[in-house]
Structure 1
Amino acid sequence: MLLESLLILSCCRAVAADPLVEIDGAFHRAYAEARAGALAAQGPVLVVSGDSLLLYRGRVRVAEAVIRSPRYHRLKGLAHVPLAIRLSAGNPERLAALRGWVAALEPGAGALREASLAFLDGGGDASGLDRYCAGMEGPLEALAREAAGLELEALEKAVGAWRRDLLAADWDRVRVVVIGSHMAREGEVGWQFFTRLLGEPGEGGRLVFAEEKWDPAEALKLLATHAVDGDLGRAFFGDPGRMHRDVLAPGAKKWLDSHPIPR
């Protein structure tokens, strides 16, 4: 009798199961399988990751090139001098330590070194902080221009060599993932380089930005996600980029346009 009751209860539960819950589960399983298939099938991928440019075939790294040289990092260190001073304002001990480190820089550090020493020797007075920072605009921009040029030259050299020696037969299938931080996303150096090289107007075709995906494996997975979502967007909306935006975005805009939010 007990067994019969359990069987009846089990059948009732099966009948009562929400079909939409089952469908949703099936969708997520199918999506994961589709992404795994896209990851396995994708052609050569270039990954801009920190100091390196990486070349993958499938999930295997087959080549690596350094794109940020010691000179690049020295320029970055110099650029951090005025930023560190700004952020240390009001901390006499830290400013004193910075003064010693700035004094030890080579004379080639130029105007940045001299202006920083002058400010620190004056006691790092808060009243002159904004004036000091404004005076650093020129030196900072010069350092940034040189650093950008060094990275771009290294990218051009590495990509040119790989395109000739490793990718001649399938260059048109190459896709690119640029890994970077949220704050540096707009105008990121590698992103600018590859948008021009590939003739890509933005993200979603052969070029993807992997924000904060510091593990290249995660960046490759994101690239596969773009491939799956591109197919879905093309099939249902005639727009391969449609699923790269919040699917609720048009509805949200329409609602907000018809329901002004009081300020």
Structure 2
Amino acid sequence: MVERASSAGAPREVSAALAPTDPLGALNQAFLDAYAARREAVLAGIEPIIAQIDDSLILRRGGRRFEGPARTRRYHELKVVAHAPLAVHALLSGRRGALDGAARGRLAELRQRIAAAAADLDGRGFTPEQLARQRRILGASLALLDEASAAGGVAPEALSAFTRAQTPDVLLNAEDAARDQIETMHATVEAWKRDMTPDERERLRAVVAVSHMARPGNVAAQYFSITLGETWQGRFDQEDLRPGKRVLTAEATFDEAEAFALLATHALDAGVATRFFGEETRLSRDILADAAERILAGMFHKEPEPPGEAGAGG
């Protein structure tokens, strides 16, 4: 809303939007209604179609809706533990001087939650190797928090050494999480495809709901690209806009607060990625992307096409 002076000199509010009573506003609404109706008709005509939204796969086929799993609880357990050292880094990085009262309070709360998680690892069904890894990650995080609490902070060199020491275990958790999602999705999709006609399998499309920072290399987008016969670029895989594309990604950031938060996310993730992985843009693609590329290459005996080579010479 913008204030402008009226002819009498008094400020009045002027909106750029057309009022519903404006003939052009009414015409625009007619367009939106017609477009929405046509979109529904087109959607019905392009079935079957699968959507991956968080932990679920949703199939629309023949006017019916089916739902199946895209991930198991193991996926989330592995990712949560991998987030612990990132939380420690976020709390302790960029500080000058001793921790203040608010920071100490957050440190104590984080320590309590990590300790509770560490005490609850048994009985979750981890393999022996996975269980040892989760204990290493959480134990190292607790140790650094205790050091910071005792000293009133942590030296940048010590924090850097901590992040690099956690990287191998964090990436192993990412690989196991990627495998969980790929194998779970594959079981669901293959079960659905067995009930489809050859024509339906040929026409099958997929849409993947993604966040902005995890768009390139998204696990589900990679999976659908390779299983539906699309161009697959491995960990750098992302949507292109060529006609006939069978795998789409859905991302929306139209809210002002979200737009500003996105700028902050880019800045924060660049610093975290540099410290943990030595690659500023590492968190601009799915943290599971590299692992997904390796798993899919082994599963389908195929190598990804590097960016820029897809369709070359065509």
Structure 1 length-normalised TM: 0.64
Residues 1:96 and 1:34: Cα distance change in structure 2 (over 3 Å): same
Amino acid at match of 1:190: A
Matched, 1:143 2:173: yes
State the superposition RMSD in angstroms. Answer: 2.8
- The correspondence of residues 65-214 of structure 1 with structure 2, limited to 5 A, is 65-89=68-92, 90=99, 91-104=103-116, 105=118, 106=121, 108=132, 109-123=134-148, 125-127=153-155, 128-166=158-196, 170-201=200-231, 202-204=239-241, 205-212=245-252
Amino acid at match of 1:84: A
Tell me, in whole angstroms, the C-alpha distance in 2 between the residues paired with 1:79 and 1:59.
41
Residues 1:59 and 1:87: Cα distance change in structure 2 (over 3 Å): farther
Amino acid at match of 2:145: L
Residues 1:123 and 1:170: Cα distance change in structure 2 (over 3 Å): same
Question: Residue 178 of structure 1: SS of its match in structure 2?
Answer: strand
Kept after mapping to 1: 8 A contact 2:204/2:228? no
Q: CA deviation at 1:30?
A: 6.4
Q: CA deviation at 1:199?
A: 1.7
Tell me, in whole angstroms, the C-alpha distance in 2 between the residues paired with 1:78 and 1:135.
15
Kept after mapping to 2: 8 A contact 1:203/1:209? no
Structure 2 portions without partners, runs of 5+: 1-24, 93-98, 122-130, 232-238, 254-314
Residues 1:30 and 1:93: Cα distance change in structure 2 (over 3 Å): closer
Q: Comparing both structures, which one devotes a greater share of its residues to helix?
A: 1
Structure 2 length-normalised TM: 0.55
Q: CA deviation at 1:39?
A: 2.2
Residues 1:116 and 1:74: Cα distance change in structure 2 (over 3 Å): same
- The correspondence of residues 14-33 of structure 1 with structure 2, limited to 5 A, is none
Amino acid at match of 1:208: L
Map Cα deviations across residues 167-211 of structure 1 (whole Å, 9 max, x no partner). Answer: 555111111111111111100000000111112125441111111
Q: CA deviation at 1:79?
A: 1.2
Q: CA deviation at 1:25?
A: 9.2
Tell me, in whole angstroms, the C-alpha distance in 2 between the residues paired with 1:59 and 1:180.
25
Tell me, in whole angstroms, the C-alpha distance in 2 between the residues paired with 1:36 and 1:78.
42
Question: Residue 43 of structure 1: SS of its match in structure 2?
Answer: coil
Structure 1 portions without partners, runs of 5+: 1-20, 214-263
For 1:255, the equivalent position in structure 2 comes to none
Kept after mapping to 1: 8 A contact 2:208/2:220? yes
Matched, 1:38 2:42: yes
Amino acid at match of 2:48: P
For 1:251, the equivalent position in structure 2 comes to none
Tell me, in whole angstroms, the C-alpha distance in 2 between the residues paired with 1:203 and 1:71.
31
Question: Residue 185 of structure 1: SS of its match in structure 2?
Answer: coil
Residues 1:40 and 1:66: Cα distance change in structure 2 (over 3 Å): closer
Map Cα deviations across residues 12-54 of structure 1 (whole Å, 9 max, x no partner). Answer: xxxxxxxxx9x99998776555434312322211111100111
Residues 1:27 and 1:148: Cα distance change in structure 2 (over 3 Å): same
Map Cα deviations across residues 100-144 of structure 1 (whole Å, 9 max, x no partner). Answer: 222231374232122112211212533122221222111110110
Q: Give identity over the alignment, percent.
A: 37
Task: Report which structure shows greater RCO (CA 8 Å, sep ≥6).
Answer: 1
Kept after mapping to 2: 8 A contact 1:42/1:58? no
Question: Residue 183 of structure 1: SS of its match in structure 2?
Answer: coil
Map Cα deviations across residues 127-167 of structure 1 (whole Å, 9 max, x no partner). Answer: 12222122211111011000000100011111111111245
Kept after mapping to 2: 8 A contact 1:82/1:136? yes
Q: How many residues align?
A: 193
Question: Residue 170 of structure 1: SS of its match in structure 2?
Answer: helix
Bigger radius of gyration among the two: 1
Q: CA deviation at 1:66?
A: 1.3
